Amino acid sequence: MAFATRPASCLALRAVLCVVVCLGVLLGGCASGPAQRPGGDSAAMTASTPSPAGRLTPSQAQDVTLYAMTLVGTPYRYGGNTPEGGFDCSGLIGHVYQTHTGVVPPRTTTKLQFWGQSVAQEQVRMGDLVVFLNGGSTATHAGIYVGSQRFVHAPSTGGVVRLDSLTAKHWSSQTWVVRRP
């Protein structure tokens, strides 16, 4: 029985995530509707047309964070952008933001590196993007910051969407920037 062999810390994390998700669902009825696009048109935007960034409310950032955490365990798939088909890192970000805010991020990490507002690492907050750079200049990976130095991301082929710490050995040795949608 695989469940019984999991470490207590893993079980505790899953229990905390379940409580957070349940609270988000219960409080979701209090959330406001989707943000209006400039000009008052609230029609959905297509994935091929990235939205201007910088319009997320704190409530939307919380919705993004909670929903991203519910996708932990979804299989990685290169080019994937749905829970049913799997995700790559930019597909995960696009799906989460478009589903819960109506904001359409760019589809590649290279474009995500320049999308939104640049924010100092010390000012990172829930719902921000963490974009990892190869050699300090080219984006190679991205995830959604969920608080407490943790982020949700779709890491690589054969993996699953997961919650990782920016202070873990691998990630703390990487150069990363913060982008605020």
* Catalytic residue annotation: 89, 141, 153
- Give yes or no for a contact between 93 and 161, defined as CB atoms under 8 angstroms apart: no
- Residues contacting 144, CB < 8 A, separation 6+: 64, 65, 68, 92, 93, 96, 127, 128, 129, 130, 151, 152, 153
Residue 109 φ/ψ, nearest 5 degrees: -65, -35
User: What are φ and ψ of residue 132, in 5° steps?
Assistant: -95, 140
**CA–CA dist 128, 52 (Å, integer):** 15
